[in-house]
Amino acid sequence: MTLVFYIAGDNGASAEGGRDGVINEMWSLNNQPVSMEATLPHIDDIGTVMAYNHYPVGWAHAMDCPYQWTKQVASHWGGTRNGMAVRWPQGIAAEGEVRNQFTHVIDITPTILECTGLPAPDFVNGIMQQPLEGISFAYSFDDAAAPERHTTQYFEMYGNRGIYHDGWSAITQHVIPFKPDTGEVTWQNDKWELYDGATDWSQAHDLAAEMPDKLAELQQLFLIEAAKYKVFPLDDRRIWRLNPELAGRPDLMGGRTSLTLFPGMVHLMENAVLNVKNKSHTVTAEIEAPEGGGEGVIIAQGGRFGGWSLYVLEGKPVYCHNWIGLEHYFVRGEEPLPAGPVTLRYEFAFDGGKPGSGGTGTLYVNDRQVAQGRIDNTVGYTFSLDEGMDVGMDLATPVSEEYAMGDNAFTGLIRRVTIELGNDDVSRLLDAELVFSNLMAAQ
């Protein structure tokens, strides 16, 4: 019989919508505060393909009750704790019962291995595996009163951190999910809290002032566990970490400066293609244009809520940079493409400066400049969480409202599209300690 684990969510309800909610979550994920006045005109778009909306933080708190805080706040149970149901008729005699032993998601794999009688592999495809860090909770299946075996667990996300040990929790909240990432929060100002899970399972009564010795003991334990599991150095740059280059962490395409794509390559996620954000770059499409220049998308990344697209409209070449739905910047050719072989090239000269700064875009047809335009703002951190790069069409929502959703394939022939990066140096924006730490972790 099948062993089923049903986990109700991966974290607490999200507070990323801010105090008022947002019509486009990419605003929050690109560190762009937007007023209620900007949202209200789009209120009727909520629930439609015209919105990527997110509820206000008040709803997040309500959905995480009776625990404190929300997703991203790994210190408090509201950010991490979820219910789980396990069904295994062949191996679990109890039905409809509750188990209260502390269990973490890392315990799932050890539990499956124990139930199936399989050992944890030492090697996979010749690569030595790290030891499993979880503890099987199969011991609790037939004994609700069995002593707890997972007795210690650290938590950390964006500097919000905590430690669970023998029913006690010591926790500290460092950053707030719905506030802009200003870099003004300091580690020295973090205030630790202490909770006794035996009598206060919802973490409602802070005992830090009453039991400073117990708090100090757990704080020390956090340092030990965090060092053991490579949590340090702590990194609270929430938005920067969405862009691996800015975060200084390993990147699948890191070090590559050129990528050639072909028709039919679609839904390529952001970390699987070259990172064109915050740097000069060139997009070159080698195509066969039909009479009249053709119609449709040659290449697009992202969608309605942030991205860029190179397409042909009424035979004329167009580049559009969609700045998180707030602005659309166009660079347009004024003449139809000539029929036959065409090399269409878009060059972007980045101004430099902070992430999301602007630049100048230029279009060339067969090496002849046909258009140039100013792009005041660019997407600096992430184009989309769920819309990738498409060659020959723009799947899902369109980057530009000038072409149809779902019916926008290029009517000519695409031979290849090449993306090349400039030599912009973003290393000055990186934290040297974090870069070193990530390089060591990748050894």
Q: What pLDDT was estimated at residue 255?
A: 84
Predicted confidence (pLDDT) per residue in 288-347, tens digit: 999 999 999 999 999 999 999 999 999 999 999 999 999 999 999 999 999 999 999 999
Ranges of the chain whose pLDDT falls below 70: 182-183, 425-443
Shortest CA distance to 71 belongs to which of 155, 197, 195?
Answer: 155
Q: What pLDDT was estimated at residue 48?
A: 95
Task: Record the pTM.
Answer: 0.87
Predicted confidence (pLDDT) per residue in 270-290, tens digit: 999 999 999 999 999 999 999
Q: Domain spanning 258-428: which CATH class is it, in words?
A: mainly beta
Q: What pLDDT was estimated at residue 439?
A: 55
Q: What pLDDT was estimated at residue 430?
A: 63
Shortest CA distance to 334 belongs to which of 295, 290, 365, 289?
Answer: 365
Structure tokens at 231: 């949590």
- SS3 for the chain is CCCEEEECCCCCCCCCCCCCCECEHHHHHCCCCCCHHHHHHHHHHCCCCCCECECCHHHHHHHHCCCCCCCCCCCCHHHHCCCEEEECCCCCCCCCCCCCCCCCHHHHHHHHHHHHCCCCCCEECCEECCCCCCCCCHHHCCCCCCCCCCCEEEEEECCEEEEEECCEEEEECCCCCCCCCCCCCCHHHCCEEEEECCCCCCCCCCCCCCCHHHHHHHHHHHHHHHHHCCCCCCCCCCCHHHCHHHHCCCCCCCCCCEEEECCCCCCECHHHCCCCCCCCEEEEEEEEECCCCCCEEEEEEEECCEEEEEEEECCEEEEEEEECCCEEEEEECCCCCCCEEEEEEEEEEECCCCCCCCEEEEEEECCEEEEEEEECCCCCCCCCCCCCEEECCCCCCCCCCCCCCCCCECCCEEEEEEEEECCCCCHHHCCHHHHHHHHHHCC
Q: What pLDDT was estimated at residue 241?
A: 87
Q: Domain spanning 4-19+56-228: which CATH class is it, in words?
A: alpha beta
Which residues of the chain are in CATH 3.30.1120.10 domains? 4-19+56-228
CA distance 305 to 385: 10
CA distance 32 to 38: 12
CA distance 339 to 341: 7
Which residues of the chain are in CATH 2.60.120.200 domains? 258-428
